[in-house]
Each structure stands twice: as C-alpha cells, then as structure tokens.
Amino acid sequence: MYFGDVYMPLYVEKKPPRVEVYSLATNSWRTIGNNAGYYANDTFSSAFLNEAVHWFASKTGEESSANVVLLFDFNSEKFGEIMLPMYHEDGEGENPQLSVAVLRESLALIVCSISNLRLIEGCYIWVMREYGLVESGTKQYSIVPEERIVRPLGIVNNSDFGMQRSGSMRGEMQRQDQNV
C-alpha cells in the first residue's frame, strides 16, 4: 500500500492522500481512491491487525489535531475508523506524539509527551482489549527514558519497546495493569 501526496509543506493546504495497492498476482498498482476522508498523519508508523492496516489520522476539513485510527481492510478494500481512548485526560501533555502498534494481538496506541526541546519525556501504551471498542482502551504501560529519546519506534516481539535515541537506549518500563 502506498500513500501518495502525503508530504505537504506547512504553507500548502493539506490534501487527502491518494491510496494505491500493489497486487502480487497482477504485478501492478491500482488506485483505491483519493479521498478516504482522512489525512494519514504518520504513514511510516502503521499496525497490521485483523486483515487491516491502521494509522493515526485526522479527518479532512477538521481544524483539530489527529483524532482517529484510520484503517484499511484488505478484504473489503474499504476504509474505516476507530475512535481513540481518552488518553489526553491522563496528563500526557497538550500535543503528544501518537502512533499505533500491535501488542499481544490487540491494537495499541503509543502516546509520548514531548518537551520544549522536542525530546520525549515519557511514553504511555494504551491497549484496546476489544478491537474497535473505544471503552476497552486502558493505559497498560508507562515508559520513562533515562536518556534523551527523540521518537518511539514501536513494539517488537510483543514485549520490547524500541526508541530512537540521542543518548543511551536504556530506559525504565513500568507496568500499569497486571492483567495484560
């Protein structure tokens, strides 16, 4: 899958992405549509779960920051959305960096507080216990880095949280809920 026309300079009006899917059977690309109704905010950070790929996204025409998880179902070739848990009520900052991941076969939201120096102060992993049900989203982990971290890389092997650093990779991971 390819999102075309995603990068736009700040002074240019945002455009919805043009979405293309590559078929191994036909060795060709085909366009799914150019107006999914969303902007994919971070096309490099995606999560594949339940035959669908997921991104953190904003609705087109909305002035507010990103507010949904956009999904593309490969079986139906249709877009959908999943609302986000109420992560912002937990004091994770006004403009957190957000991305999606898969943790133990559940959709997860990674919320990172960013300092004025554009460094991560802490990351929080919210897990949606029931797919698509926003009420099932709970904060499971808090990660407090010991060194300067510039961005999360995601969850690997259902247990490791990778971060891009500007110092040591060591950090402290604190479990929030014992029933994961």
Residues 57 and 124 both lie in one domain: no
Each residue's pLDDT, cut to its tens digit, for the chain (180 residues) gives 555 544 444 444 555 666 788 889 999 998 876 556 777 766 567 889 999 989 888 776 655 555 788 888 888 888 888 988 877 655 555 667 788 899 989 999 888 877 766 667 778 889 999 998 988 988 988 877 766 666 676 777 777 776 666 654 454 444 444 333
Report the C-alpha gap between 45 and 48 in whole angstroms. Answer: 10
74 and 94 share a domain?
Answer: no
* Co-location of 100 and 151 in the same domain: yes
Domain count along the chain: 2
Do 100 and 76 share a domain, yes or no? no
pLDDT recorded at residue 168 = 47
Residues in the chain: 180
Neighbours of 179 (CB within 10 A): 6
Question: Is residue 32 located within the same domain as residue 69?
Answer: yes
Structural domain span for residue 53: 1-83
Integer Cα distance of 135 and 133 in angstroms: 6
| pTM greater than the 0.75 cutoff | no
Whether residue 26 sits in one domain with residue 51 = yes
Residues 78, 89, single domain; the answer is no
Residue with tokens 């979405």: 19
Q: Which phi and psi (to 5°) does residue 145 adopt?
A: -70, 145
Q: Where does a domain end: 83, 103, 123? A: 83
Same domain, 79 and 63: yes
Kindly state whether residues 30 and 49 are assigned to the same domain: yes
> What are the structure tokens assigned to 70, written together?
């956009």
Question: How many CA atoms does the CB half-sphere of 8 hold within 13 Å?
Answer: 16
- Shared domain check, 21 and 10: yes
